Amino acid sequence: MAGAQGSASAKVCRDPFSSVPPVRVGMKQSVVRPPTETDVARLAGVSQSAVSRAFTPGASVAEQTRTKILEAAQELGYQPNLMARSLATRRSNIVALAISSLENPFYAQVVKELSHRLAETNRHILLFATSPEVEADPALERVLSYQVDALILTATTAPFELALHCQKAGIPIVQINRASKLPGISTVSGENRRAGERVAAFLLAGGHKRFGYIGGGVASSIGKERQDGFTEHLRIKGVRTVQVAFGEYTFEGAAAAARELLGSAAPPDAIFCASDYMAFAVLDVARREFGLNVPGDVSVIGFDDVPEAGHSAYDLTTYSQPAAALVAEAIKIIDIRIARPQGRAIRREVRGEIVVRGSARVPIG
């Protein structure tokens, strides 16, 4: 609807001084094809291959001819055609990035970080914003067509078919923040199990009695680890039951989950959420819909430590999962796997810690 409204009423903004006709009209300046290595070669008086070598680090060119070539290239405004280069070298310097929850600030951070880190080695990102509902995005299947050097998935998992194809083609796959049972798929994540344990300990020390957990999807393997760490530590300490609900990693889903938990007969006085983004929804529901005081009536702890968690509107106590470190590991893994495509999958965990803010009662003493 918004789209229809927008396009229907869009008005073209004309120059107010319309009596003066724009000079450019009629010049037509037809579209010019960009210069090629052959053009540069002609100008520099060398062969095309020489030009290619001048732009290939480590190739054999005399310093003198190289500068001559670079000058000619400069003069023509030459830029290597990466499509042609990719075709010849079978490497595109493009990394495909599939992501499902861009609205979650944590993943926005990941994307940003990835873009910067990859740019340092002259690589770029082909972005696939998949829908969380759709497991196997048809667009993703086309990844192979682009001859990407690697595939990074965040907040999604690679469908079996894709994983198989990539393995055959020697394209490394790394999943950030999603586990995988498939062979050949590397993963990077925060310390999920340990996070669950430490949050449980923190909340116990804070004197909480009834515990809730709001996870992502029932099938979320990563979330499962957090949940297991959380509930098992509690059980060891004598807590029998943990109320569990799932928010599908969405804001609305988490809000519904919060309503379920907080509206129950014996509502929890401590809730651990599988992501900060969901924790925000829980805070909203607890305060506005249930009129609860946080952390007086209920403590809420998140996971990720996104920048917003530090904003005073939320002031969320959380377990950190540093995006920069995750990304750094992911890129390291990619480079290893590119060097040895037939190697085996690599799994890494990045350390985090409890970041104490104001949304959970603090252990006394």
Residues that bind DNA (CB under 7 A): 33-34, 36-38, 45-50, 52-53, 55-56, 59-65, 78, 80-81, 84-85, 87-90
Residue number with CB closer to DNA (87 or 336): 87
Q: Is 160 in the site for a second copy (CB under 8 A)?
A: no
Q: Which amino acid is at 148?
A: V
Between residues 85 and 210, which has the closer beta carbon with respect to a second copy?
85
Residue 62 binds what, of a second copy, DNA, none (CB under 5 to 8 Å, by partner type)? DNA
To a second copy, the closest distance from the beta carbon of 274 in angstroms equals 18
Complete edge-to-edge strand list for the sheet that includes strand 354-355: 242-246, 211-215, 270-273, 299-304, 317-320, 354-355
Q: Which of 95, 92, 90 is nearest to 82 (CA)?
A: 92
Compute the distance between CA of residue 201 and CA of residue 274 in angstroms, rounded to an integer.
Answer: 16
- Cα atoms in the Cβ-side hemisphere of radius 13 Å centred on 350: 20
Interaction partner, residue 287 (DNA, a second copy, none; CB < 5-8 Å by kind): a second copy
Kindly indicate which of the ranges 57-65, 205-213, 224-232, 321-329 contains the residues binding a second copy, using the contact rule CB under 8 A.
321-329
- The listed partner (DNA, a second copy, none) that binds 19, CB under 5 to 8 Å by sort, is none
Per-residue contact track with a second copy, 245 to 284, x per CB under 8 A? ------x----------------------------xx-xx
* Cβ-based neighbours of 185, under 8 Å, separated by 6 or more: 158, 163, 173, 174, 175, 345
Taking residues 1 to 40 in sequence order and writing x for each that binds a second copy by CB under 8 A, - otherwise, the string is: -xx-xxx-xxxxx--------x-x---xxxxxxx------
Work out how close the CB of 284 gets to a second copy at its nearest, in angstroms, rounded to a whole number. 4
Site for a second copy in 161-180 (CB under 8 A): 165, 167-170
The secondary structure of residue 271, as a DSSP letter, is: E
DSSP H stretches of helix in 33-122: 37-44, 48-54, 63-76, 82-89, 105-120
- In the block, residue with structure tokens 């340092």: 120
Q: Total number of residues binding a second copy (CB under 8 A)?
A: 92
Q: Give residues 96-135 in contact with a second copy (rule: CB under 8 A).
A: 97, 102-103, 105, 108-109, 111-112, 115-116, 119, 122, 124-129, 131
The residue type found at 68 is K
Q: Which is nearer to DNA, 72 or 261 (CB)?
A: 72
Structure-block tokens of residue 318: 């959380």
| Near a second copy by CB under 8 A: residue from 142, 209, 235, 237 | 142
Query: Does 350 help bind a second copy (rule: CB under 8 A)?
Result: yes
Q: Residue 43, Cβ neighbours under 10 Å: how many? A: 18
Distance of closest approach, residue 94 Cβ to a second copy, in angstroms:
7
Distances (CA, A) of 32 to 28, 35, 93, 167, 206: 11, 9, 26, 41, 70
With tokens 């509502």, the residue in question is 267
Q: Hey, what are 49's tokens?
A: 């291959």
8-state DSSP, 125: E
Binding of residue 314 to a second copy (CB under 8 A): yes
Residue 291 CB partners (closer than 8 Å, separation 6+): none
Please give the residues from 39 up to 98 whose contact with a second copy meets the rule CB under 8 A: 77, 79-84, 86-87, 92, 94, 97
Q: Which does 339 bind (CB under 5 to 8 A by kind): DNA, a second copy, none?
A: a second copy
